[in-house]
Structure 1
């Protein structure tokens, strides 16, 4: 069995070909797609966060709204860029969204990726300490965030407060019990996956990874996952970690699918640079008739290693079509792979 959810980047464009022509369209349709996905039996609704872009940005109003409109489905991010975040304010927002959803938040965070603007986090009022990089700053923000999610008091109470305080040091409110165990780290490299394991975070691995061996993407990603699990075991954590991978997968079951995604030949990995020095490998997309798709997915070692699969959806094609994409995987592909 495998949990299957969707991942939306929340693109919007004023183009006549787009079903999401404004930020409002994207937000409202994201809620509707989460509701539809839950009705279809999917397990998760996840959203990407990008700043200074025509995409989803501030996640917590959306997560709270999805939580209020659904009952069962997990809701989360993949991922929030921690370079931009005030970890204490974020802990309050996350606690509120988790309580609204009844404890269904699965919050993916990360160092972040190249953004739309140069050093965008500086515009948010953050800059690395002397001698540190923006990645160091993101990890520091993360460590503070994880610490306050434990729910322990750390702030001295005012001796003359406006309202009565409980005894002792005060913690942030609202606190949602158990949320600390539902934080995921989006790791692009083997070393950051190991760091996440030591910190007690679940692992999110996407369709992009630092090219560390020259092997096919899914093999490198599977090795990353196995290294993460070994590091988790060595750290002595008492619970089982969760691991997700994301993929672009389309079952060609009708003429719309063939028009959008049907093509000759096999998909393949690609190589690129996410900055001046970091060589990355990008995983292939899958698009085929269901029987062929099942056989292709059987060979993906990383999907086999993960307990959760996130399907990236083309949100600009609208709610109805994306619900169809999710349903086609759940109905025509997942049973043949033993996922359902």
Structure 2
């Protein structure tokens, strides 16, 4: 007979991270549900961004902080996995967003076809651990060009150097200020912007939206850093405290259900998360964003993430290929569904 396993008490702190994007984890954090949920375990929930230790905040990228969960864009999660961080993927969300190539009206660029032979700016964040903005911009631009069968070699690419605080810093400037300056100075003909702050930047530039690839009917062309977004946990947390991970997922799904029932409040929460106004949040993520916050492991989402991982690997953005299905642990979601009241959204 095997000796019984003795687990240590629940950790004092559970760390969580989310980017400035729409996530149900962000809603749960804003509502105070995480600390309420974990108080019964004697555990406090803290955001990585609240830590005064840069090494702790750095875990947004490398996911090395013990007892941590992260729900945000897929690039950092895949980058960390590729370089050996022992994490598990327990869920995906797909919230479509504004992803646009924009140009000034005087450029004469009206359609994607007009981009042939023109100069497209790509941000280059020289101080970033992994350049999420550059990767997202390149992917969005390539997807946009693909709608008119334009090769990447038929346009000119121009680097736009951005020296800005990392996401682990306490304050950041507007994310598209460098690209906007390059566009206004005529150094580039078109730039890529996304999300509510990208939509806002396009407005104050009085720019023309050449294409919003985020509204394209083909989900393969909409696939980028935020579509889908990943929910990951460190493997030791899942192995040692599966009940805590299941509780995280329960609160995430609770937030998604709350969002579906509270569209106006959800827009307010997303505006705060994305550091923008409610108007631009609705413009960027859609009037029905409250219906697209559920976390799942639907095969279509998994397949999309695998294609994105393959893109990152082929372009040299991650150190090694990532087998997405081998990364997944579906146990927390299965346990949650098994214990869910009949009719709950995550029981379907």
TM-score (norm 1): 0.29
More helix by share: 2
Higher relative contact order (CA 8 A, sep 6+): 2
